[in-house]
Amino acid sequence: MARRSVNKKTVRTTIAFASITIFLMVAPALASAYFGAGLFTVMSQSMKPHMSAGDAIITDVVSAHDVRVGDIVLTTNPDNMEQVAHRVVQNSTIDNIHYTITTKGDSNPQVDMPALTFHSNAPLRKVIAVVPKVGYALDLISSTITKTAGSLALIAYLIYLVRKTRRTVELNAQELNSLTSDEEINVKVQQLVQEHLTKITGASPATLPTVSRESVVTPAEVTSQLQRSKADIYL
């Protein structure tokens, strides 16, 4: 005779741990895929005092013809292929099809060279918000090492939970042999049910209902009752 149980605290902890882990791993990708939002970390001081190294910037996707002077856009430096978030100081066009955008870091003495030319509908990332001092932490959370460690931790915790649910409390042979009368069995049934309800509800044993052996309906009894009900319908 065995009994298995998982208390509510364990279930809540598991759900919370799994939800947070999954959210941290997939939230940036979902935000980019469905809303066009991007999250990047500032790596230099070229835009001080507006933003500093270690800040996080949130970007949205706009078309090149919607970029205005004063906007901060994320572009790729053709010399080293690094992404740079600098302020637009000039946006010009001759044929309304191609736009030439010149950018400059707020603390840099010179504009960025060369100026970049984009098609009118080319997508550019425009900075819409700056979150101070959280960029490095976000980089750490979104890194491959952290995602791998989080996945392994989640798997390890789930394995621990499965093993915990398999722990059983068994009555020894002597206790089984001692349950010879219906009254003793009834008392044992009440004890086991109250222990189980206490674990899953956290309620005091005194407030729990009393369950006797006679109130337990077996699957065979349920089937029999259904068959009798069906027979009554056809009478």
Residue 55 has pLDDT above 60, yes or no: yes
- Mean predicted confidence (pLDDT) in 84-103: 92
Within this chain, do residues 145 and 113 fall inside the same structural domain, yes or no?
A: no
Shared domain check, 139 and 123: no
- Those residues with Cβ within 8 angstroms of residue 160's Cβ, 6 or more apart along the chain or in another chain: none
pLDDT in tens, 204-229: 656 655 555 455 545 555 456 555 55
**pLDDT in the model for residue 161:** 72
pLDDT above 90 for 203? no
- Give the amino acid at 22: I
Nearest Cα to Cα of residue 192 among 166, 168, 174, 173: 168
At 109 the pLDDT is 93
Which burial class, exposed, middle or buried, applies to 229 when counting CB atoms under 10 A from its CB (0-12, 13-18, 19+)?
exposed
Residue 2 has pLDDT above 50, yes or no: no
Q: Percent of the chain scored above 90 by pLDDT?
A: 27
What is the chain's mean pLDDT, rounded?
A: 74
In a domain, 40, yes or no: no
What tokens does 222 get?
A: 């349920």
Q: What is the pLDDT of residue 136?
A: 74
Whether residue 43 lies inside any domain: the answer is no
pLDDT band at 63 (very low <50, low <70, confident <90, very high): very high
Per-residue pLDDT at 159: 79
Q: Does residue 210 form part of some domain?
A: yes
Q: How many domains does the chain have?
A: 3
In a domain, 45, yes or no: no
If asked whether residues 59 and 125 sit together in one domain, one would say: yes
Q: What pLDDT does residue 119 have?
A: 92
Span 82-98, mean pLDDT? Answer: 91
Same domain, 178 and 121: no
148 lies in the same domain as 213: no
Classify each residue of 19-29 as buried b or exposed e, where b means 16 or more C-beta atoms within 10 Å of its C-beta.
Answer: eebeeebeeee
- With respect to residue 118, please indicate whether it lies within any of the assigned structural domains: yes
The answer to whether the CB of 71 falls within 8 A of the CB of 89 is no
* Residue labelled with tokens 């002597």: 174
Same domain flag for 1 and 29 = yes
More confident residue, 228 or 61: 61
Q: The domain that contains 71 carries what CATH number?
A: 2.30.30.30
Question: pLDDT digit string (tens) for 117-155?
Answer: 999 999 999 999 998 888 777 766 666 776 677 778 778
Q: Has residue 82 got a pLDDT over 70?
A: yes
Q: Is the dihedral of CA 50, 84, 43, 56 positive or negative?
A: positive
134-148 burial string, b = 16+ CB within 10 Å, else e?
ebeebbeebeeeeee
Among 145, 170, 195, give the residue marking a domain's end.
170
pTM (two decimals): 0.53
What is the DSSP code string of 30-62? Answer: HHHHHH--EEEE--SSTTTTT--TT-EEEEEEE
More confident residue, 214 or 85: 85
Structural domain contains residue 162 = yes
Residue 50 placed within a domain: no
**66 in a structural domain:** yes
pLDDT tens for residues 152-201? 877 887 777 777 666 544 444 455 556 556 666 667 667 777 776 676 66
As a whole-number percent, the residues of the chain with pLDDT over 70 amount to 57
Cα–chain-centroid distance for residue 182?
51
Across 64-97, b (16+ Cβ under 10 Å) vs e yields bbebeeebbbbbeeeeeeeebbbbbeebeeeeee
Residues 159, 200 within the same domain? no
Boundaries of domain holding 114: 55-130
